[in-house]
Structure 1
Amino acid sequence: MAVPVRLVPLLDQFDFARQRLVDRMSGPVVDSGNGTGVPVGPMTDAEYFWEPGPGCWSVRRHADGPGARATLLTGAGAWGRDATPPPHPAPPPFTTIAWRLSHLTELLALRADHTAGGRGMTREDFRVSGDAASAVADFDRAAGAWRAALVAADDAALDAVGHSTYPYGSDPEDPFLDVVWWVNQELLHHGAEIALLRDLYRLLPAGN
């Protein structure tokens, strides 16, 4: 099936941002934005869990319990992500790469399921990664599932309200094309945050 014309620029944007983020986390080079390759090493577990200051939200073992100002850890398996039911803390806690990447991976995986899957997956079903390499692989897998849901959509689906039934946003009330736009901006802004945190970590004195 041909990709609808309206979807093409959003799909191209998603593909570029996805690949750029994977390369930024994995190396050995990342596109600087103008086609020039910049050397970058794979993200370490230390970077993945780095807390730049006190009170950060992160990914933690369920056995250890949630961090400061969090009341629960969401996710299946041994690891979970710091969270709290609404209202969320104000000002919001600073979040680690682990938290941001887990959040991004979860929203992609769940939206793929609620668009072209069984439409039953919840945050409690999502397995949170406890190391950097697994987290990057899980992100790329979730991004692939979301992309498959996108290319399966025709023009009627793009206009359909509730084509995505993702339960943690306004998807059931929005045309699918609006959801596609929203997911792209989530990928772009969280990808930029993760890249910046990698840059800041690189400036730490040796041994810290």
Structure 2
Amino acid sequence: MPPRLAPLLEQFDFARRRLTNRLAGPLMDSGSGTDVGVEPMTDDEYFWEPVPGCWSVRRRSSGPGPGATLLTGTGDWGRDAAPAPHPEPPPFTTIAWRLSHLSELLAMRADHTNGSHAMTREEYPVAADAATAVAALDAGAEAWRSALLAADDRALDTVGHSTYPYGSDPENPFIDIVWWVNQELLHHGAEIALLRDLYRARHR
């Protein structure tokens, strides 16, 4: 492994483990290095809309939610979306939306790095329940990790090593994309954790 990739992979593994444990339990890091119990996320929590007008994942037969113009993905469910320019201010999104977004970007970036280089958003399945969504996150993270382990120093410096078409990947060195994916996992993971806390407090 290239030495400069090692800390980024370590950070990715740490963020992935914390988020997965936060969602599925039975234990999670309290933030101080000690483990505390946590219940697996329920479907009600997965779909919880804490404010009006949330973007989420929905039955395709129901159509897109407020401010969205389409449901992206394949299958009976889709994720609220709209073509650029996106709504301003950005809509508040549910755990379901955020998990779908994270899982998709991990799986698709893996495919466009050392896979078929052909996967599209329209082909990516959208999870209709919490357990499936957590499994999809884990599968996407494992696929991306495999892509990282296959990268050597030359790949890290190669512009367009990832051909993911929904970001700046074709214009940037792969090492920049590795960093970007880490911050996506870190900041969306923090958002999801906060939503879990708010949901729990609301139902006390």
Tell me if TM exceeds 0.5. yes
Aligned to 1:185: 183
- Pick from 8, 20, 28 the counterpart of residue 22 of structure 1: 20
Shift >4 Å, 4+ stretches: none
* 1:39-62 Cα distance to aligned partner (Å, 9 max, x none): 110000001000001100000011
Counterpart CA distance in 1 for 2:151 and 2:4 is 11
The correspondence of residues 42-121 of structure 1 with structure 2, limited to 5 A, is 42-121=40-119
* 1:57-115 Cα distance to aligned partner (Å, 9 max, x none): 00001111000010000000111000000111111110000000000000000000000
* 1:11-55 Cα distance to aligned partner (Å, 9 max, x none): 000001001100000001111234210111000000100000110
Amino acid paired to 2:154: A
Counterpart CA distance in 2 for 1:35 and 1:90 is 38
Give the superposed CA RMSD.
0.8
| Residue-pair matches, total | 204
Counterpart CA distance in 1 for 2:138 and 2:181 is 15
Give TM-score, length-normalised by structure 2: 0.99
Q: Offset at 1:204?
A: 1.1
Counterpart CA distance in 2 for 1:55 and 1:20 is 29
Counterpart CA distance in 1 for 2:14 and 2:117 is 27
Counterpart CA distance in 2 for 1:205 and 1:100 is 21
Counterpart CA distance in 1 for 2:148 and 2:42 is 31
Give TM-score, length-normalised by structure 1: 0.97
Q: Which runs of 5+ in 1 are unaligned?
A: none
Q: Which runs of 5+ in 2 are unaligned?
A: none
The correspondence of residues 124-135 of structure 1 with structure 2, limited to 5 A, is 124-135=122-133
Counterpart CA distance in 2 for 1:69 and 1:163 is 35
- Pick from 159, 173, 176 the counterpart of residue 175 of structure 1: 173
Amino acid paired to 1:41: E
- Pick from 2, 5, 18 the counterpart of residue 3 of structure 2: 5
Counterpart CA distance in 2 for 1:124 and 1:85 is 13
